[in-house]
């Protein structure tokens, strides 16, 4: 299955998927040193984003997201790529800054709601620079 999204930060990545059921606040809800969700109220608390394609319905709250997510990407504990259901300036800013400062790339793609809902956990995904998202059969 191939889906077409809007490129928020270009790049390519592939890997196992982590689907978040709810938006995440990276500030206080995510440990950038381990890549682990630490928000005790989040359904995926304890899940590790490191090296995964994270499918998430955006972020919540804090403008601290670019700093926390950016630090995680710099430490190589962050996700390999992000798929959102709408553009998110905080996630995009983190990926753009890390790309510019450290030449490390984390693609970010936004899918429309219908396409976003077709993605399932446990099925590897690849993201291409043109915004295409392919889920393995």
Task: Tell me if residue 72 is catalytic.
Answer: no
Catalytic residue among 62, 72, 99, 132: 62
Can you say whether residue 115 is alpha, beta or left, with left for phi > 0 and alpha for psi between -120 and 50 degrees? alpha
| Euclidean distance between CA atoms 3 and 43, whole angstroms | 26
Do 56 and 79 meet the contact criterion of CB atoms below 8 Å apart? no
Write out the catalytic residue numbers: 62
């Amino acid at each position: 299955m191939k889906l077409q999204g809007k490129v928020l930060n270009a790049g390519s990545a592939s890997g196992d998927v982590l689907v978040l059921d709810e938006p995440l606040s990276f500030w206080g809800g995510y440990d950038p040193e381990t890549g682990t969700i630490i928000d005790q109220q989040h359904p995926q608390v304890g899940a590790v984003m490191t090296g995964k394609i994270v499918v998430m319905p955006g972020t919540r709250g804090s403008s601290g997201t670019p700093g926390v997510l950016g630090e995680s990407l710099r430490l190589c504990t962050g996700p390999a790529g992000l798929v959102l259901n709408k553009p998110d300036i905080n996630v995009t800013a983190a990926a753009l800054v890390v790309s510019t400062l450290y030449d490390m790339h984390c693609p970010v793609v936004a899918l429309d709601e219908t396409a976003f809902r077709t993605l399932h956990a446990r099925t590897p995904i690849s993201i291409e620079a043109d915004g295409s998202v392919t889920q393995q059969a």
